[in-house]
Amino acid sequence: MELRVKATLALLTALLVIPASAQGQAAAGFEPAGAGLPLYRPAGAAAVVAVATPQWVPVPTDPHDLLGAYRFLPPYATDDTEGQVFRLLFAEKGTSVADPEGNFVAVPWTVGCGCAEEGWDEPIWVQPGDTVVFLLSKTRNRVPWSGPPVFDVLGWHQPYPAGEFIPFWRWAREEPENWLSVEEFFQLLKVLPTEAAFQLDPGSALTAVRGWLALNPGKESTFPIPTMLRELDRLTEVR
C-alpha cells in the first residue's frame, strides 16, 4: 500500500489544491470535498463531526445519479457499493446531513490506476468509535433507497484524521509535534472561503487561515497548518 501511495502522491498533491473547474476531465477533477487538506469549500459544503459505527450498508449506485467527478465512475466500480454509517455529533448551523436518528452514510472511493476513482477495497476505513471530521457536499442527484443520506468521498483523503493520505502527507511533508484536534479542524473548515471566492482570489484562503491562527495562538506548527500555509503561499505567489 505504501508504494501505491507514494506513486500517486505527486499528482494528487497538485489536484488537491486546484479548484475542480480548473482541472481537466482527463484527471477526473477530484472534488475539493474529497481532499484531505481542503483549501476552500465547494458550494453547499458542510463541515460535520461524527462518530464511526461498525455498520456498513449496501448503497445502490447508478453512475447517472452521481455528480461532479463521481459521474465518471465506470459501471464496474459501482457494483456492490457499500458505505459506512456515521452518527452525527454536530454540524454547521443551517445544514442538514443526517436522518432523524442522526445517521448518515459515507461511501468511500479509492484511487486506482491512473488516479481514477474506484470502489473501496481496503478491509478497514474508519475504526468504529473514532470521532472524525468530514467536509460533505451533495454528490448524488437521487438515492434510490430509504436509508440515511448518502455522501461520496475519496477515502484516501477523508475524514480527518483517518483518511489514508492524511498520515502519509504528514510523514512526507513535515513532522510537527501534534495535530489539530477534531474540534479545531472543524472550526478551521468553517472559515475557509467558498470555491468561487477562492477562484477569484486565492489569497482569501490565506487570509482566512491566518485569521483563524490569530484567534488560536500557538497553532502555527500544528499539522496541517504548515502544509496549508505553504500551499497557499505558493498559489498566491503564482497568481
Q: How confident is the model at residue 178 (pLDDT cuts 50, 70, 90)?
A: confident
Per-residue pLDDT of 61-75, as tens digits, reads 888 888 887 888 877
Lowest mean pLDDT among 30-34, 51-55, 79-83: 30-34
- What lies within 8 Å, CB to CB, of 47 at 6+ separation is 91, 92, 133, 134, 135, 136, 186, 189, 190
The Cα–Cα gap between 182 and 48 comes to 10
Question: Residue 116 has what pLDDT?
Answer: 52
The residue-averaged pLDDT of 44-57 equals 95
* Contact (Cβ atoms closer than 8 angstroms) between residue 8 and residue 112: no
pTM check: above 0.85: no
Question: Residue 69 has what pLDDT?
Answer: 78
Q: Give the H or E element holding residue 185.
A: helix 182-191
Lowest mean pLDDT among 23-27, 147-151, 211-215: 23-27
Question: Residue 120 has what pLDDT?
Answer: 64
* Contact (Cβ atoms closer than 8 angstroms) between residue 150 and residue 99: no
Q: How confident is the model at residue 194 (pLDDT cuts 50, 70, 90)?
A: very high
The Cα–Cα gap between 59 and 82 comes to 5
The residue-averaged pLDDT of 11-28 equals 30
Q: How confident is the model at residue 121 (pLDDT cuts 50, 70, 90)?
A: low
Lowest mean pLDDT among 55-59, 96-100, 114-118, 192-196: 114-118
* Contact (Cβ atoms closer than 8 angstroms) between residue 206 and residue 229: yes
| pLDDT surpassing 60 at residue 27 | no
Lowest mean pLDDT among 8-12, 22-26, 58-62, 166-170: 22-26
* Contact (Cβ atoms closer than 8 angstroms) between residue 103 and residue 13: no
The Cα–Cα gap between 3 and 154 comes to 18
The residue-averaged pLDDT of 25-47 equals 59
Domains of the chain: which residue ranges? 2-168, 177-238
Mean per-residue pLDDT of the chain? 78
| pLDDT surpassing 90 at residue 189 | yes
Q: How confident is the model at residue 1 (pLDDT cuts 50, 70, 90)?
A: very low
Question: Residue 15 has what pLDDT?
Answer: 32
